Amino acid sequence: MAHDSSTMERKLQVLRVDYAEKLAERIDNISAYLTAMSQARGDDAARIAALEQVRNATHKLAGSGATFGFPAISDIAKDMEAACKDVLHGTSDYGSAFFDRLYELCGRLREAANTPIGSVVEETQEIASASGRNLKADVRQKALLVLDADAAEGEQIKREMERFGFDVRVINHPEKLEEELAKGPIDVLVSGLKFCGNKTAAIKVLGELRKKGGIGAPLVVYTSQDGMDERLGAARIGANAYLVKPMDMADLVHALDDVTEFTLREPFRVLIIDDDESLVRHTELVLQGAGMQTLALTNPFDVLDALDDFSPELILLDLYMPKCSGSEIASVIRQRQEYAGIPIVFLSGETDKDKQLSAMELGGDDFLTKPIRPSHLISSVRIRLGRFRELRSYMARDSMTGLFNHTTTKQLMETEIARAQRSNHKMTLASLDIDHFKNVNDTYGHAVGDRVIKTLARLLRQRLRGVDIIGRMGGEEFAAILPDTGIDEAMALFDQIRVGFSEIVFHTEEASFSVTISCGLAQFPDYDSINALSDASDKALYTAKHLGRNLVVRAE
């Protein structure tokens, strides 16, 4: 869930205040451990136990202090932790110099606790910069401005693009362009290149406005002219795409996707495991500010349920936790075949390179050292997740549409049914098929048939949520899994998709045509296994075909 800047600042401030209020108690605990250690000089076991407590407590402060605006706390705590390690590793002893040093550092901790540095405003700005956006809620619609002298053509483009989820405004003369741009920001300008019989008029106006800085958005042009002069003129004014009439709306959508990077992607999912509640909440907030979905655990023994329920794409894992270490948790995760490839990134205050490498040998992929700047955390996580998705897509997705392939869709269906059973929530499965698709291939050729398939895939991605699972089951057959969705809601949604797809016009050199789809729906828990659910939705689809096609039918 994304946050706007004011919400982010407020939440970061709450975390800092909470951390500062608990800081004195944490330092008091360290002082108490020091006292226990000094009083246990005749009891080696008790002394070592107290020393371990000092090391663990200072390790946590070293990783968290700078994160919450106390960089001096981190520096002093690191010195205390290093002194403890020297004694535990036998390179130093419990002499009076050791105790004097620790008491001195403990006193400096108290002084540093009263002098925080930095502000949440700076941190918020860093998160926004690293996220590549102004911290605000993600908006699904892209704003288009269509400039077309033909009012009917402009309205036709408006209707077609609204079916794909775009927010569209239309003007019919270039003189209105500057005024319309002043009304509000647009994501792309879509313009014809001929006005009032003068094929160069639009290029001239667009070029002048571009020079003045009036057009900052990408520019897509379309025209009935396909000559070198027109293309060169469009290139000179910075056009990002050039389309020739008759213009297929599917081609326009693909062009808009390219120039605006509009393909909607589900947010990255990150599982955070750390027993330090303050750091967990801070890490969550930073990643959520970058538009990622997070699930945080302070008890590592909950990891197996979290893997099944949340299906993370990356795991951020603390190395030192009570009851078990992060490297042990990584080993357990790697025992699950379906999660063997998930990136595991250790996020710890451990600076010893040998120990970092030892932890990674047991299942980790990377090591980030606390404290870490928000921008570095966001970038590191995003790079790892991007590579993970790219590699996974080669194995899990259909190369033509980018949707999940048949095998992956079935696997995800099993996961969603198991999740619905545990949460006692509804889930709907949709089976879709393009009507008379063989006739499209036979009449217009397979290249046109591929364009129809890709257009339906794009429409499904646009109309469905990021959490919904869309798969191409083969040929012209598709499936969609809608978690937490009842069949009545799904009926209304897929009927809108059915109508929208039927109104899309495809153009070829021979003719223009439209295509329809049929859909069958089945709901969990009415059908409580993958086979029963799949059979029910398929039978409902066959019923829709039998009743004349271009229908959405629910399983009874």
Question: Are 54 and 188 contained in the same domain?
Answer: no
| d(C-alpha 154, C-alpha 165), whole Å | 17
Residue 6 lies in a domain: no
pLDDT tens digits, 311-338:
899 999 998 888 888 889 998 888 887 7
Question: Are 164 and 291 contained in the same domain?
Answer: no
Q: Is the pLDDT of residue 140 over 60?
A: no
Residue 137 lies in a domain: no
pLDDT tens digits, 414-424:
888 888 888 88
The mean of the pLDDT values for the chain is: 84
Predicted pLDDT of residue 93: 82
Pairing of strands 366-369, 427-434: unpaired
Q: Which of 196, 231, 260 is the last residue of a domain?
A: 260
Cα–Cα distance list, 330 to 277, 360, 367 (Å):
20, 9, 13
Predicted pLDDT of residue 408: 87
431, 540 in Cβ contact below 8 A? yes
Q: Give the chain's domain count.
A: 4
Question: Are 377 and 411 contained in the same domain?
Answer: no
Residue 5 lies in a domain: no
Residue 8 lies in a domain: no
Predicted pLDDT of residue 210: 67
Identify which has the larger pLDDT, 207 or 101: 101
| Residue span of the structural domain in which 84 resides | 16-120
| d(C-alpha 145, C-alpha 168), whole Å | 6
Where residue 107 sits, what CATH number does that domain have?
1.20.120
Where residue 472 sits, what CATH number does that domain have?
3.30.70.270
* Cβ-based neighbours of 137, under 8 Å, separated by 6 or more: 2, 4
* Cβ-based neighbours of 392, under 8 Å, separated by 6 or more: 341
Question: Are 184 and 298 contained in the same domain?
Answer: no
Residue 88 lies in a domain: yes
Q: Which of 235, 260, 285 is the last residue of a domain?
A: 260
Question: Are 104 and 238 contained in the same domain?
Answer: no
* Cβ-based neighbours of 442, under 8 Å, separated by 6 or more: none
Residue with tokens 């540093």: 112
Instruction: Classify residue 555 as exposed, middle or buried by CB count within 10 Å of its CB (0-12, 13-18, 19+).
Output: buried
Question: Are 71 and 200 contained in the same domain?
Answer: no
Question: Are 212 and 301 contained in the same domain?
Answer: no
* H-helix or E-strand spanning residue 273: strand 269-273
Question: Are 162 and 37 contained in the same domain?
Answer: no
166, 256 in Cβ contact below 8 A? yes
Looking at the whole model, is its pTM more than 0.75? no
* DSSP string computed for 84-115: HHHHHTTSS---HHHHHHHHHHHHHHHHHTT-
Question: Are 177 and 286 contained in the same domain?
Answer: no
Predicted pLDDT of residue 264: 46
**SS3 (DSSP) at 340:** coil
Q: Is the pLDDT of residue 40 over 60?
A: yes
Q: Which two tokens stand for residue 134?
A: 């102004």
| d(C-alpha 333, C-alpha 429), whole Å | 30
Predicted pLDDT of residue 133: 47
Q: 170-174, 289-293, 390-394, 419-423: lowest mean pLDDT where? A: 390-394
Give residue 176's pLDDT band: very low, low, confident or very high (50, 70, 90). Answer: confident
Q: Which two tokens stand for residue 342?
A: 């998930």
Pairing of strands 314-317, 269-273: parallel
Can you tell me the mean pLDDT for 264-290? Answer: 87
Predicted pLDDT of residue 542: 94
Q: Which two tokens stand for residue 393?
A: 């897509």
Pairing of strands 188-192, 293-297: unpaired
Predicted pLDDT of residue 215: 67
| d(C-alpha 310, C-alpha 299), whole Å | 16
Where residue 341 sits, what CATH number does that domain have?
3.40.50.2300
Residue 276 lies in a domain: yes
| d(C-alpha 266, C-alpha 168), whole Å | 24
| d(C-alpha 385, C-alpha 492), whole Å | 34
Question: Are 435 and 512 contained in the same domain?
Answer: yes
Give residue 251's pLDDT band: very low, low, confident or very high (50, 70, 90). Answer: confident
Cis peptide before 246 (omega within 30 of 0): yes
Residue 98 lies in a domain: yes
Q: Which of 71, 89, 120 is the last residue of a domain?
A: 120
Question: Are 548 and 414 contained in the same domain?
Answer: yes
Q: 271-275, 296-300, 378-382, 400-404: lowest mean pLDDT where? A: 400-404
Sign for the pseudo-dihedral over CA of 254, 260, 266, 271: positive
DSSP state of 466: T
443, 387 in Cβ contact below 8 A? no
Question: Are 278 and 295 contained in the same domain?
Answer: yes
Residue 496 lies in a domain: yes
Q: 199-208, 399-408, 446-455, 533-542: lowest mean pLDDT where? A: 199-208
